[in-house]
Amino acid sequence: MRFIVTIALLAAWSVAYSSAQDQPHLTPRTPVPQQQSNVEPESEYTVPPGTKIPLTLTQGITSKTAKEGDPVYAQTAFPVTQNNRIVIPAGTYIQGVVRHVVRPGRVKGRAELQMSFTSMIFPNGYTVMLPGSVDKVPGSQSVDTKGSEGTIQGPGSKGQDAGTIARDAAAGAGIGAIAGNGRGAGIGAASGGVLGLATVLFTRGPEIQLDPGASVEMVLERELNLEGAMLRRQ
């Protein structure tokens, strides 16, 4: 009876541990200070397609709760220049939208998150429409991008699943050895392995988690035309 109770307690602990690992951890960051553009008012500037612009997210996004149509908010992290003039200052606001979300599977299948950037708001309120997508997520060791539209893909869970099964099998073996004076180690290991497998089957893989302050590189899909007079407007 004690053995069954102990196994039940281990099952509850494994599920609680996996759920705790799955919770998002959001850390607020200081927004990027806005700058002013120094362009010539009578000139027009064209930012070519393929230009990559580093962004800083101002709110967290996770595949666990994100839905298609959710807004995305960011700021440019570094100025963009044309003809020795700052045409897109650091701190310019970027707005986007979540296009597609896939949660990780319980046995296989990685999380996926696709978002596009739709508008750029300059410090003076000048607003232009954007054709931007995600090029990559610099500095992240847990996610990467795939496809021409910059779909963010979460990490796999094979190593984590194997670790869960091995951990529970080892715990079961230890309990079995104690309960059966060493004779129950094999039974305990088998029971623990079954428990670990059940935990894996009922637990989703790792979610995509982009915290506030995360770096995302945007790429322009077509040229961006900017009016000098509007950039210099006070």
CATH of the structural domain 33-156+208-231, one choice from 3.40.50.1820, 3.40.30.10, 2.40.128.260, 2.60.120.640: 2.40.128.260
Tokens encoding 31: 């927004």
User: Cβ neighbours of residue 94 under 8 Å, at least 6 residues apart?
Assistant: 55, 73, 74, 75, 76, 117, 119, 120, 121, 130, 132, 218
Per-domain residue ranges for the chain?
A: 33-156+208-231, 159-201
The pLDDT tens digits of the residues spanning 118-141 come to 999 998 899 999 989 999 988 776
User: Cβ neighbours of residue 6 under 8 Å, at least 6 residues apart?
Assistant: 175, 179
Q: Is the separation of the CB atoms in 127 and 119 below 8 Å?
A: yes
As a whole number of angstroms, the longest Cα–Cα distance in the chain is 89
Give phi and psi for 192, each to the nearest 5.
-65, -40
Tokens encoding 144: 């990467």
The pLDDT tens digits of the residues spanning 55-106 come to 999 999 999 999 999 999 999 999 999 888 899 999 999 999 999 999 886 5
Residue of 201 and 97 predicted with greater confidence: 97
In the predicted model, what is the mean pLDDT of the chain? Answer: 75
pTM given for the model: 0.66
